[in-house]
Amino acid sequence: MITDPIANFLGSWSIQLTASSTVFRILLSFFLSALIGWERSSKRHSAGFRTFIIVTLSGTVVMLIDIYLNSLFDGKLFILSALAIISAARIATRTLFFSSRNQIMGLTTAVSLWCSCILGLAIGAGIYTITAITFVTLLICLSKLPYLEFYLKNRSNHFEIHLELKNSLNLQNFVSTIRKLGLTIDAIEMNPAYANSGLSVYSISISISSQELKKYKTHKEIIEALSTLDYIYHIEEI
């Protein structure tokens, strides 16, 4: 039989469904979700401090209810827990939105909410070791991995830019300049969100085809070079 090391350390009371273990699990759920929510709120994401606490607490409570009901009726169906996962997934999708630059925003926050609900279920079930490992891993993913992600993204041979031209007639000049630099345009999409701004705005997917650029240039350096063109009003990576 597989045992939970943390539960063994805490004592048998933490495994059993008692008043003290119930309070402990709810408080643990609150504390861990508050830390995750604080990390999200500090970066001004769509779902923050209270949302993460409520979603995680909901997962913990429904698991406790499921365990209690199963002990009463000698069943093996965790109906409320399954519904909690589905509900968390639906709530998470509501945090997704398209920005004015045709980007899907809030994806990391959405899946973090879903993961927090699963974390709450693990706490409610009294699986403390899995809870601890999941919590630490999730927090590292949210707080530390963005730096690695940014580095890898900046070194990729593919990137996308938000381009604002002073005149639509300048698009041909921009395309010619891109090709001379050893870059390939994979896709160009006009952004309708800026239709009445007086600017011609595009989302452009670019690949680095030049071997020299691949070795010595980052996306930031390429974009800085392009920004010096007179007909470009604004340009940035998205």
Where are the strands (E) in the chain, listed by range? 97-98, 104-105, 158-165, 183-190, 200-208, 232-237
Q: Report which DSSP code applies to 199.
A: S
Is 75 a residue whose pLDDT tops 80?
no
Question: Taking the complete model, does pTM exceed 0.85, yes or no?
Answer: no
Band (pLDDT 50/70/90 cuts) for residue 98 is low
The domains of the chain, with CATH numbers, are 5-143 (no CATH), 153-237 (3.30.70.260)
Task: Compute the average pLDDT of residues 1-29.
Answer: 88
At 165, give phi and psi (nearest 5°).
-100, 145
Where are the strands (E) in 33-157, listed by range? 97-98, 104-105
Task: Compute the average pLDDT of residues 116-138.
Answer: 93
- Convert the pLDDT of each residue in 162-218 to its tens digit: 999 988 888 999 999 988 888 999 888 888 777 677 778 898 999 988 887 777 778
Give the separation between CA 65 and CA 78, rounded to whole angstroms. Answer: 9
Quick one: pLDDT at residue 211? 81
